[in-house]
Amino acid sequence: MDDKTINEHLSRLSQAIARLERKTDFILDHLHLTFVDTPSNNIPPELREVAALLQQGKKLEAIQAYRRITQAGFEAAKTAVEKMELGLA
């Protein structure tokens, strides 16, 4: 592949990324959401115990703490904790 072909390819990729960013911004704005690039820094104070347990590798204890704090059922707590876990990784 020559330099011209590479530059054209990079230009197309750059344009596609810019379109995706605009679409994502539009969706976030439409849904009144704010993108947080560092989710672990945006954990509500009442769930910091859950995050700390996750960081220690204590997933079951984190689910139990989430249930105690939020009064959620097991499945809902498990789902929420797994989402938090993805953000903390």
pLDDT tens digits, 17-67: 999 999 999 998 898 877 766 656 678 888 999 999 998 999 999 999 999
Q: What count of residues does the chain have?
A: 89
Q: What angle do CA 85, 87, 89 make, to 5 degrees?
A: 70
* Residues 1 and 12 both lie in one domain: yes
Instruction: Please state whether the predicted TM-score (pTM) of the whole model is above 0.75.
Output: no
Q: How many structural domains are present in the chain?
A: 2
22/16 Cα distance (integer angstroms): 10
Q: What is the pLDDT of residue 1?
A: 77
Range of the domain at 25: 1-35
47 and 80 belong to one structural domain: yes
Question: Considering only CA atoms, which of 41, 66, 72, 42 is closest in space to residue 53?
Answer: 66
